[in-house]
Structure formats: structure tokens, C-alpha cells
Structure 1
Amino acid sequence: MGVKEVDVHMTVGNGATSYANNSAHQKIGISKAKYVLDESLKEMFADDGFPDCFKMVDLGCSSGPNTLSVVAQIIGTILRVRRLNNVDELPEMEVFLNDLEGNDFNNLFKLLPSFYKKLKEATGNEAIRCFVSGLPGSFYGRLFPSKTLNFVYSSFSLQWLSKIPEGLEDNKENIHMAMASPPGIFEAYATQYRRDFTTFLTSRGQEMVRGGRMVLTFVGRSVEDPSTRDDCAHFTLLASSLIEMVNEGLVKESDLHSFNMPIYTPSKQEVEGVIHNEGSFNLEKFEPFLVPWDAHVKHEDHTRGRISQLGAEGSVPDHIRGKLVSDFIRAYTEPVLASHFGSSIIDNLYGRYAKKLAEYLAREQPSFFNIIICLSKK
């Protein structure tokens, strides 16, 4: 397919299939990374003291409720550390929320009044000054002046590539790296990843102050060789749903053959290699963790009426699990698929996908392999 940049964004609004209402899975991942975030902030202040104005950015912030909850967590940690160090004066904080131009910033900004109210209640002091603003633009490039940022945070965004890799013409009915993909497909994805992550690190290296920290969480790969294990089986099932629709004449075969997801899940060795070769940061922490595909189902708010019947011992029936996992994946894949195949196929596609997921979850217990790293600016 022709190489093109992609305007990646989550499904906007507050509808049933929106990211705002289907990001409970990411929330679980964020909670698992909390201790690394807290420890990184404590170490930074222990090493470099407290700036008069703490400048931070959430890169790839999206538009759901998770964004401001993480900001609140970071502010809470800063205030606790300052109190432990007998620093009474409250700092000024400048918080930038970054994502691509297609992000639903309006939905995010509507949450700010509630955020400020809770912040005031939590601190019990009106003197705290926290200035939050939106910053549209790609993090694969410069976003800030030199040496201005103290802290960079990103959650489940760095697996997205800046563009479709070159050389995927032979991937045909695979919409991502799959065990059935030709060998050149893996290298094409890996090459684009190395280029993008290097650009990301170089840009942040120029923007951050010496001793500043980055905490990054993203979906990774559990094996070094992607041809030996299908860590992206959820995309294989999605491709299978599209193939069905091609066979029924609902999707053009040429459209399927020219589509690939702009996502790459790196291995531990790849992440460490790029960080070492780029050279702007020290790798302070590297923590992998697993999150089951359906982990958020147990956290789902059943009062919304989406789960009407529980199985034995309170378990969620497979068809409901399949639907909820489909909704979660739809919230971040629908915009890319709709822009390529058209919006008219979307409900049909994800309906089929939910059934395939239900069948798969009935016999397998798959998990996403996630990575959290902490970097310090040299």
C-alpha cells in the first residue's frame, strides 16, 4: 500500500462505543504502573530538589476520564513529597495535555471544572496554582522549547507509529504483524518503530531539563522474535472478521489487502537498544506486566445495564465478555478502520468480531504484554 501518515485518535464523544466509555481496561494498566510513577517522582525530587514551577506533559492523553485522574495522582504525589521534606509553599504547576489534532479535546476540557474542584478539596488550600492546557501535535517531533520540561508521562500511546511502514504490500490478508506474515513484514514494522522511537527520545531529550524524568507505559511483545508467538491475536481475529466480509462481498478485497494497522509492539531488547543508541536518557526502570484481555469486564459498571445476566458463581458469560472486549478494542481501532473501509461496515464488523472474541476467550486466557519504563535525562 502507499505509505501515508495517519491521524490516530480514539472514538470521540460519550456514546456507547466511545473511548470515554470504554477505557476501563487502560485504567487497570495505569493502576498497575502507579508505583513506578510515584517512585520516579520521589527520586527526581530527591536528586534535584523542587522547581518553583513544575512543568509536565501527558503525551497521547486521549479524551477519557483516565487523563485527569493521572494528573491528579501526579499532583498528589508531589504535594506528599513536599510535605515529607517540610516544604510548605505550594508550587505552581503547568500541565500540558497533548494528542493529535483529531483528539476530542472538547470532551476532555469539559472535565476540567470537576478536576479543579476536586483538586481544591484535596489540598484544602486555594493557593495551589495548576494551569492545564491542550497541546495538539505529534509527539514524534518537537513540541516544547529547549530545556523547559521537568516530567513527561505517556500511557498506552507509544505503540502507535507515526505512519504506515513501507514495504507491507505482501501482507495481504493480515492487517498487522501475524505469524503468517512474510519475514519482510516484521522488519518493515521494526524499522519504522526504531525511527519513530528514536525521534521521540531525541525530541524529549532537547525539551527536558537535566535530571527530568519520563514514565512511559505501552503495549509490548513478550518474545524477541515476533514470528514465534502471536502476541497480537486480537488483530488476527479482527482480520478474520474482515476476510468473512470480503467473502460475502461486503468489503473489497483490494481494501483489505491495502490495510495495515499503524501499531508496533516492541520487545524488551528493542526498547533497550533504541534508548542506548539514541543516548539522551538513562534507563532507570523497566517493568513488564500482563493484563488479561477481559480484565476490565470484572471492573465493568453493571448498573449501566450492559450486563443483564451473570453465569455460574457470578461469572460473565462468554458472549458478554466477547462484546465488552470488542467494545474496548473498537474504541481505539474504529477511527482508523472507518477512514479506510468506510463507516458503513463498522457495526457489522465489530458484531462479527465480538462473536470471534467470545469463542476465543472460551478456550484461551490471553493477556496483553505491557511495559513501563522510567528514564532520566542525562
Structure 2
Amino acid sequence: AKNSSLQKKASDMVKHITLETIQELYLTTTRKSLGIADLGCSSGHNTLSIIKEMVDAVEMTSRKLLQPAPEFQVYLNDLPANDFNAIFKALPDFYKELKKGRGDADGVPCPSIYIGGYPGTFYGRLFPDKCLHFIYCSYSLHWLSMVPPALYDKQGRSINKGNIYISESSPTQVCEAYYSQFQEDFSLFLRSRSHELISGGRMVLIFLGRMAASNHLDRGNAFFWELLSRSLAILASRGEVEEEKLDSYEVHFYAPSKDELEDEVKREGSFEMDQLEMFEIEKDVGNGTSYGTAVAMTVRAIQESMICHHFGFGEGIVDSLFEHYARLVDEEMAREEIRPITFVTVLRKL
């Protein structure tokens, strides 16, 4: 999945944290069976590659302990519209890859892995009580469960006219509405996972955030939405988008600050934050792709269906929109670097 190139790069940068966490979990529990969930797994190659690396890491630890590797129960979750079939079709190759260097002839038994798809929103319960030991969630939690209802007045008109996210011209109620929705969603996420994880279970969560608690207008994440807003305005100036529809479109996104994250974890009370790291992704995405194009593909993958539904766009206009967007991102990058902030946090179930 090309649209995941930036996510893959970011996940690779913190892979050591993910693998160290699952190894430590296994060391402290040495169970015969490990339940692992990938929440918001998407349908690309990234999903199975990180699962394979987790299996390899646990297996290596089990060999050091002179113990047989545990069985792995892997739960792949995403929204029902996700193409789970793409993952399932990739499974034969995944199992084939897993068998390399393993088997009776090599003296290394192949671990038992049972993989299933679990469609549904992670803002709520997904799995039975205490069936999971490890949860991995990469680049999903900055998407809110919905556009904050408080962004609309009693007549259903947006109070954030001319913007699709928090911007300089947004009234303070807009920041409050987004933050309130984040609090509601993230606490529900934590509460739901607290039932599904065993005591001592771990979560590795990777998502976009922002530097300053007091400033929502960082040049890291909010700015990308500003540029998408400008791209839509270009189409509006050509009569390809109705102004009224542009005024009523908002994104269901929120980049929390470090303090906001810590506050929610403390407030919900089921988890201890073992680690919280912040990092920036370098703009070089490789493959001869411009950074703007990579960003546009990533945003399009999430936003396209909502944009098409809201504006009634056909594919041609969507192509045009994201071409403008990619160009604006590249132009801005040439002026001054935009480096989105990513957080990775490790939570331990109390």
C-alpha cells in the first residue's frame, strides 16, 4: 500500500520500542500463548511485516530461555470498510516467509500462529475479557470517532467557517470542541482495552501529536489541514466546490500534546505510562516520490471517501484536489520544513 510509505517509515523508526516491549512482556509472563492485536491495521503489507517481526522477537527470547515459542493468536482490527481480503490473500506468502530457516530440518520448530480479522471501531469493546497480552496501534488514534458535534450551531452551521480543522481564524470553541472529543474518545479507548488486556499487558501506541500544549497551530500537523483547506478553496474559486459545502466540512482529527496524553491516562486510571517518546519524520520518503505526493497519498487514503460523500466529487476532481495539495505541501516544504510530531507511548495495564 503506497499510501502507507510515511507510516511505514515512522513505524520503522520506533520498531525497536515495539519489539523490546513485546520481548519484555514475554520475559515477565513466559506464557504458552500470546494474544496480540493490531488496531487500525489497514490492508497493506505493513500489517503482516510488523506481526512477523513481533513473532521473531518473541521466538528469539524463548530460545534464550530454552523454552518452546508460545502460540500466537493475532487479532487484526480495522473498520469494516477495510480490505481484509487483501490481508488474507497475503497470508500464504506470510506463512511461507515464516517457515524459512525453520522446521524439523533446521531444528527450529515453526511457531503456531492463528490470525483473524476483527472489523469494528476500537472506540468501544472489540474482544473478550482478558484475552490479549499485547496491543499495537500505529497511526490510528489521531483519528477521532467523529467530527466533534460542538463544531456546529443549533442550525447545523459550522462555527469554524472557511476551515476544515483548527486554524488561526478558528474561534476558541473550535479548539475546545476538538479537545473534548479527543478526551471522550481516548478515555473510551483506554477503558475498552483495559477489559481486554491481562494485568501487566502492554500497549504500544504510535500517533501524531503536537509540541506545545497551549498552541494548536503547530507547523507540524495542523498546517497540513490548512493546506488541504487551501486546496479545496482553489477548487471553490473555480466553481468546482460549493462554498456552503466547503464551510461545513471538518476533519475528525486531533493531535494531542504530551500533557493531554498523560492527563487522560492518569484520569482513566487503568494504565501506567512506561514510556513516552517524541520524534520527527525526515522528509526523504525515497522511491523518487516527492514528500508532498507521499503526504497527499496518506491523507487521501483516509479522507477520500468522506470528501467524496460530502462534496459529491467524482474521481477526476479528487485527483485534481490532491494534485493541488501535493504541490502546496512541496512548495511550503521548499520555503520552510514541516516536520510532523509523532508520539510513541508504551502503556502497561495495572
TM-score by length of 1: 0.86
Q: 2: distance between equivalents of 1:127 and 1:249?
A: 60
**Which residue in the other structure is 1:101 paired with?**
80
Q: 1: distance between equivalents of 2:293 and 2:219?
A: 22
**Which residue in the other structure is 2:138 paired with?**
155
User: 1:164 and 2:153 equivalent?
Assistant: no
User: 1:371 and 2:350 equivalent?
Assistant: no
Residue 182 to residue 122, structure 1, CA distance change in 2 (3 Å):
farther
The alpha-carbon deviation at position 171 of structure 1 amounts to: 0.6
Residue 363 to residue 204, structure 1, CA distance change in 2 (3 Å):
same
Q: 2: distance between equivalents of 1:327 and 1:45?
A: 37
**Which residue in the other structure is 1:21 paired with?**
2
The 8 Å contact of residues 61 and 154 in structure 1, kept in 2 or not, is answered as yes
The 8 Å contact of residues 63 and 69 in structure 2, kept in 1 or not, is answered as no
**Which residue in the other structure is 1:132 paired with?**
115
Identity score, percent: 38
Q: From 260, 268, 292, give the equivalent of 2:258.
A: 268
**Which residue in the other structure is 1:44 paired with?**
25
Task: Decide which moves more: 133-142 or 241-250.
Answer: 241-250
Residues 60-109 of structure 1 show CA distances to partners (whole Å, capped at 9, x for unaligned) of 0001111111101110110011111121x232111010000011111121
Q: From 320, 328, 331, give the equivalent of 1:359.
A: 331
State the secondary structure of the residue aligned to 1:123. coil
Q: 2: distance between equivalents of 1:261 and 1:228?
A: 15
The 8 Å contact of residues 167 and 217 in structure 2, kept in 1 or not, is answered as no
User: 1:71 and 2:51 equivalent?
Assistant: yes
Residues 199-232 of structure 1 show CA distances to partners (whole Å, capped at 9, x for unaligned) of 0000000111111110010011111123453432
State the secondary structure of the residue aligned to 2:2. coil
User: 1:220 and 2:209 equivalent?
Assistant: yes
Q: What one-letter code is carried by the residue in structure 2 that aligns with 1:27?
A: K
Task: Decide which moves more: 236-245 or 270-279.
Answer: 236-245
The 8 Å contact of residues 179 and 227 in structure 1, kept in 2 or not, is answered as no
Task: Decide which moves more: 166-175 or 274-283.
Answer: 166-175
User: 1:283 and 2:283 equivalent?
Assistant: no
**Which residue in the other structure is 2:293 paired with?**
323
The alpha-carbon deviation at position 179 of structure 1 amounts to: 2.5
Q: 2: distance between equivalents of 1:329 and 1:227?
A: 19
Q: 1: distance between equivalents of 2:137 and 2:98?
A: 21
The alpha-carbon deviation at position 326 of structure 1 amounts to: 2.3
Q: 1: distance between equivalents of 2:39 and 2:269?
A: 21
Q: What one-letter code is carried by the residue in structure 1 that aligns with 2:175?
A: F
**Which residue in the other structure is 1:240 paired with?**
230
Residue 321 to residue 157, structure 1, CA distance change in 2 (3 Å):
closer
CA RMSD of aligned residues (A): 1.5
Q: From 306, 313, 330, give the equivalent of 1:336.
A: 306
The 8 Å contact of residues 137 and 205 in structure 2, kept in 1 or not, is answered as yes
The 8 Å contact of residues 27 and 61 in structure 2, kept in 1 or not, is answered as no
The 8 Å contact of residues 175 and 261 in structure 1, kept in 2 or not, is answered as yes
Q: 1: distance between equivalents of 2:130 and 2:295?
A: 41
**Which residue in the other structure is 1:186 paired with?**
175
TM-score by length of 2: 0.92
Gaps of 5+ in 2: 152-157
User: 1:142 and 2:142 equivalent?
Assistant: no
Gaps of 5+ in 1: 1-19, 308-319
How many residues are treated as equivalent by the alignment?
A: 337
Q: What one-letter code is carried by the residue in structure 2 that aligns with 1:362?
A: A
**Which residue in the other structure is 2:64 paired with?**
84
State the secondary structure of the residue aligned to 1:132. strand
The 8 Å contact of residues 186 and 226 in structure 1, kept in 2 or not, is answered as no
